[in-house]
Structure 1
Amino acid sequence: MLVWETFRRTVTKPKGLQMRVNLLGPVELVSAGGDAVHLGAAKRRTVLAALALELNRVVSGDRLLSLVWDGSPPPQAKAALQGHIAQLRKVLGGGVALVTRSPGYLLTADRSAVDVFRFEDLVAGSRDADDERAAEELARALRLWRGPVLADVASEVLRESVSARLEELRTVAVQELATRLFRLDRAEEAVAALTGAVADHPLREPLVARLVLALHGAGRQAEALELFHRTREQLAEELGVDPGPELREAYQAVLDGGVVATRPVSAPQVSAPAQLPREHRGFVGRACELAALEADLGGQDSAIGLLVGPAGVGKTALALHWAHRVAADFPDGQLFVNLRGFDETEPLDPRTALVGFLRALGVDDSQIAVDLEEQAAQFRSLVAGRRVLVVLDNARSAEQVRPLLPGSARCMVLVTSRLLLDDLVVTEGATSLQVPQLEEGTAEDLLAAALGRHRIEQEPEAVAELVELCDRLPLALRIAGARLASRPRWTIQSLVDELRDEQGRLSGLSLEAGTGVHAALAVSYRELPEAAARLLRRLGLHPGTDLDSYTAAALMDIGVGSARTHLRTLAYANLLHESMPDRYSRHDLVRLFTHHLAATEPEEDNTEATHRLLDYYLHVADLARGHLSDHVQPFEPLSYQPASAPELRSHEAALGWFTLEEANLGLALDIAVGSGLRERTWQLALCLDAFHFRRGNRLDRLALCGIGLTAARALGDKHAEATFLLRLGSTLADLGRIDEAVAACGESAALAIGDRHLELAALANLGYCLMAAGRLAEAEERIRETVEIAREVGDARSRASGLNNLANVLLARGEPELALGHAVEALGLFSGDSPTKAHTATLHTVGAVLQELGRPEEALESYRAGLALAEAIGDRYQEALCHRAIGDVLERLGMAEQAVPHWSEALRRYRDLRLTEGEELSGKVDGPGGA
């Protein structure tokens, strides 16, 4: 059985006595016994009406607020709405219930519980009935009206959303009732039914024509002629037109006299159009999206689906595939129109679309109204009560779509657009579905459809790279497939080699006819407001794939509030997407398109914007460095001090910012190096090194120290050179390159003389490196010197770090008791301070000393405290050390099975840091104990 037929039978089945909601007139709630139920506040009636009009469909909280408060809900509206909902629940019953359902509320009942739907169903049921029964059902339907729809509801937004459609259907019902009565030779009753409707719509010619014939049939020829002439004069005065053929034929019938035909001139017979274009034969995948469409739209009342996504993502193909799948559920027709919202030409006027729909439904051109609202009303009348599928492709705005929405509960609408069209979601209850890029496997299937499975199986690696170069966008993949299909001698690798060049990739994904990814993006760009278009051009200077509003503000040299507005505009146009609150990403082909746009800007403007971008990243990175490192000396004032920046008030916030911006900071560093901006280069490198030091990332530290040291030496900045030499030394020592480490730290210490804090840091690192080299006597001498300097300058953290290093030297010399004393003293100096790498390192040292002293339970406690602190500061190397040590102690205590998870975690972190020092753990993890 068809889905829609099953749905119709379910919702129209009588349920016996039930509570009723009446909206055709003042809003009423009537008990199952027929008594009026007091509703109280006027807004409560509006809430009930809004929910009843969407019977059995969830109404979002935001949309309900907009409908009830006429588009402008006050600050307290949400609380007031919840109060009205609670009061309504108290009085509802008899088969009508109000439930909370994300993202809003749902009124559940049989359709017949709401007079609007009883009216619609009676009118729809009369169409295929014989004249006697049809007249009876239409009369019953019209008796449901007690006045204007929602007569006592103050919300214009709510009333306007339904009144035009329902009034139109009411007029159609009167018109049809008159036709049936006329056939039954009940002309006087037809006159009575038509008189009020003609008074309300004096220029609606089909109504007037029926009344002329009904008056004639009732023997009131003079009144019939007078009505015709009065209408002719009004048409001439108000519209400047003559009566149409239907009214003229009715007039001639009166003049001819005699017996009037048993059937007056009637409305056009509605046909069942089948306008869906053919599906693309290469459609693949989209199982998740099709399932979502089925869940959100299948069997739903008055469903409107909205498919949203960037240019070339395959929205139209998905819409057509779905439409063809469900077409059989809409036997009254399927309508399709390309609204050309993003073509080179102007978007299609809704009037043009409506004329096409009306013609497809069988309306003669002479009967099509001129005014947009009247055309929309004609369309709603023709499909009222019918099951019609309407596909509106490539929509530019909600205003373009709204006149094309049928009013019938049996109809379904599917809209596609590059824009989010939130208006349709809020005001029309549309269900929005983002259409993403294809999955990798599905993208390869699409290429296989164009090239044949045998061809892509010959070059699997090239196919995988081609899919990513095309951003997994169906449009780009189809173009790539078409180019390869027309060149059978080409290998897939040859096209990959061409597209690897970022300068020519967009042109390589275009066709000679001017279609392709670049052309599609260009249309979206041209539709942007100027400020948003300027930001898109500026984004061509940003090297990464994502950014936040502060970064955009720096690029544009504007306030962060304005930047957020422009970013949202770009996201609305699907040129960016909001990957997390206030952070926006772009697809790679969009990134290349913005590079093209940036190249059209004046070079001096681009240079200034790039310097603003670098200084913004430097400013915030310097603030974040202050939370992660000791004795940070802020940089000198920057050339372009940003007007706004994120507030980083804690170690966690600083670490979080660095984690989010790590890739962008690395790319910014590349720009600084490539542009010869040496001071910005070493400053950015220093900030990134602070982050990688905290994370324990040695290989990246090594590269950064080399970059910073080169820039510092080129500038002749001895302080910066000493800073990078000491950092280079500690990194080399951690990597086992001890002799190089000692040399670098010695050189740093020589350059640092005169700057006590820098000298302290250089000597501390030199002592650490000498200890790693096994030169324990020299190491102890340097370390004790750092402890004294730290005491002299009042630096408790550096003193604690020195004491910890001294404890390690003593432990290595076989003096664990002395080592424990220094390590415990160091721990006391860390008390109350914010977490540091030195603190967790000292806890590890205490654990190692206790283990050496034969106190494994206490060692385990210290290691676990060190692990917790390492996790808090995000130091993956210290996490690895602590996990490994915990595993070793547990094994010593005879708990090898409990040790394995810790060894496994240690091994994973070593590998994440690209270090080989923990590989011997793999035998323990994978061996008998790990099995």
Structure 2
Amino acid sequence: MRSRRGAAIALVAGGGAVTTMLVGLVTNAVSAQSHWPSWLGWLQSRPWLSFVILGVVAAGLTALLALLDDHRAPGRTPDPRVRPDDGSGPPGAALVLRSLPRDTTAFIDRSAELELLVRSVRASQENDEALPVHVIDGMPGVGKTTFAVHAGHVLSERFPDGQLFVNLNGHTTGRSPVQATEALASLLTAAGVPTQQIPVGDDVSAITEARAAMWRSRLAEKKALLILDNAASYRQFEPLLPGGSGCLVLVTSRKRLAVHEEVVLPVEALPPDHAVDLFVRLSGRPADTLDRDVLEKLVRLCGHLPLGVSLLAARLRHHPSWSVEDLRQRLVAARDRLGELRAGERAVAATFDLSYRDLAPERQRFFQGLGFYPGTDLDAYVGAALGAVSLAVARQQLDALYDAHLIDEHPGSRYRLHDLLRDYARGLADEGDSMDHVQAVQRVCTYYLAALAVANGHIVRDGAGGPPSPDGASQVEIPAMESRTAALGWLENERPNVLACIREANGLALHDLVIRLAAAMAPFLRQAGPWDQAAGLHRTAAEAARHTGDQRALAGALTELGVVRRFMAAYPEATEALNEAVTQYEAVGDRRGKADALNQVGIVWYLTADNDAGARAQTEALALYRELGDRHGQANSLADLGMVRRQTSRFDASVEAQSEALSIYRELGDRYGEANSLRDLGIVHCLMGEYALASQRQREAFDIYKELDDRVHQAYALNELGVVRRLTGDLDGAREAHTQALEHYTDLGDRFGRANSIRHLGVLDRLSGDAPTAIRLLEEALEAYRDLGSRGGEAASLSELGVARGLVGEQDGAVEAFRQSVEIVRELGDRCGEAEVLNHWGALLRRSGDLAAGRGRFEQALNLARDVRCPLETARALEGIGRCDWMVDGPALAEGPLREAVTVYRRLGVSASVDDIERLLVSQAG
């Protein structure tokens, strides 16, 4: 193959040289500046022949290069890491996933099982058939996981789109099996789906199905390998199965699972010869120095299980003075001590016991402490907390336990216990004082509280690190987190472990720790989600607070629950939780907490269009923040109050509130708050017809969001910038901005923002004359707004839908859309929005010949627009009145309102409307 490719390259190079020579011949033939020797001179004197030969050579080279591109070496695929983005993942997301654990050196030859698996996979792929689920079952310690991981590495080239590993904890002591909905959230996150895009809700069945559908869609048409380790049942992992036929799923379980279209691969204990060979290889001793008969007895005593054989070999390697007979006798004694266990368990547990009793007393205590750890894996910092030792000592202990094969090493300097070893460690720990368990959990929770305080210092906007840490936190050693990126990375890695610790603490009635840990995790879970998981955590914290009678803690948990429920668009539940939080804060006299809860419930009321309640809440919160001297709280309430005032068309008051908020944010150096206020100011200036200032504010906001790497709010700024461009006649620029925003929203899973972009694009299609496309997009946006409960978005979509339907002759549908839209905007108190709908309605009536009714709508719109100082709708209403008068009474009466409209349009910079009216006036003058 290499020689053929070399010949092809030489041929291409030669052809290139010939082409260059022919170009020279043709050039000289035309210019007659020089003469080539011998036969080349003859060819030079015939330039048309040179052109013909040049064309043939060029065509031949093109065909050769195409042939080379089509006939790549068999079995080779392009590097998946440089594949073009197919649009299924967000920009910058890894297209190829690699999460398989490291292949172990202790893997013993299981050629029969491996060949069966490879043959099954190869046959399915070659016949273009769907790959069946392969279930690897067998007793504990037999090496199911090791086999699955090794097979995954062997088969990795056949599945270039990724290899994923998930531990389902089906038989893990102290831990409940992983629920399918949780596993799906982890898989979707690993596949590059932003947490905001992962479906959330209270109906577990519905959310599981929604996440499963997204997971199947994510892997559609891909070739990926998924290892589901330690499954408890088919029901547990069935939602995790990819829908595509090109994905391979390997499931390990201790019991036979009923799986549809399964291939069962039983992994039995090792054959005696293989068990002996594995022992010799891992013992580090020459085979001829070991008594083979004794070795056969030794491996038979541990049931020929790879886990037990590995531990025994490690014991012998660490004791050069022992003979295999010494080791055998010690194992017999251990088995006698564990005689109450079942045969299979006793075989493995005896090897554990032998290894454990060989440890120094302080190492034994350290190993017992690992049995109390609720998490899935740990590092030296957690080990230090569990063992109440220094970080240096913890590292020594973990390294020694790894050398003794009592823990497994995982990437990132982390460690994990095999399930059977976890059982064994927990059993040893349970033999001691029951307070040891409580104290170990307290120590590790204290460590996490101290570390979370540092992490929150990087991610919380006002710099607060969450609740104060409990006693003893100052003596805890924590990892360095010197940046926001480092803090978020640590939080993402430790999230499952912290949540497991909270569950364990709750089970031990350590309510104060539950409350503190939930509050400390709240800032991260607010932005990272999944929000249904966060809601469950805060409900647990609230129940813990009720147990202790701590009203302040209850109020804090309810506030966080209300915020998360708002994110989930569960507005009634959010309002209920936040109102109760206000009551609890009042009862304990916590004015800062009450202000925070009022600010949050005010946001919910704004979102549900209860503007009076929203304004009252923000005004009360603002007063409390001012009494307390809380500048950041003042800025937040002012900004949210400005949004309520803008929604009710009180534009001057909105600008006043937002400008004050902007000043405070800049004073505090809060770039995020500064960008939010700039963006909302831009919206208000746009409504007031100050388009240049509106565009400037949106650009300033966009630049800050880009600096903060906040793509969601970049998209919001882009949408608002697109609106300004559309209103000033730059339809191409508007489309570019809305399209870019739509891409961001789609990638990040922001349904509300996506609906906004689709609506704006529908308006552009209507303005461009493509009414059918406009109707399709506007109906899509309308459905999304209704699903989200966004009344403002629903009204805006209905208004535009009425215009588009009128253009295609659907008079009744257009009128009904306008009627519904007016009803909603009146309910919202949005008088500028009402004026816009009435202007659209008046235009429809004017075009249909009902001039009196149309003029009536325009007059209503004019009164509203002038009242709230909305110049664009004022100009539109004046134009509408003028055009109606023109058709009824002629130009004389119409000229006044039309010229007044021109004046407003010209001041706004809406040149297209100015030109239309002036053409009308000129036609009359002519």
Range of TM-score over shorter length: 0.3 to 0.5
State the structure with more CA Rg: 1
Q: TM-score, normalised by structure 2?
A: 0.43
Between Structure 1 and Structure 2, the one with more helix by share is 2
- Per the normalisation by structure 1, the TM-score is 0.43
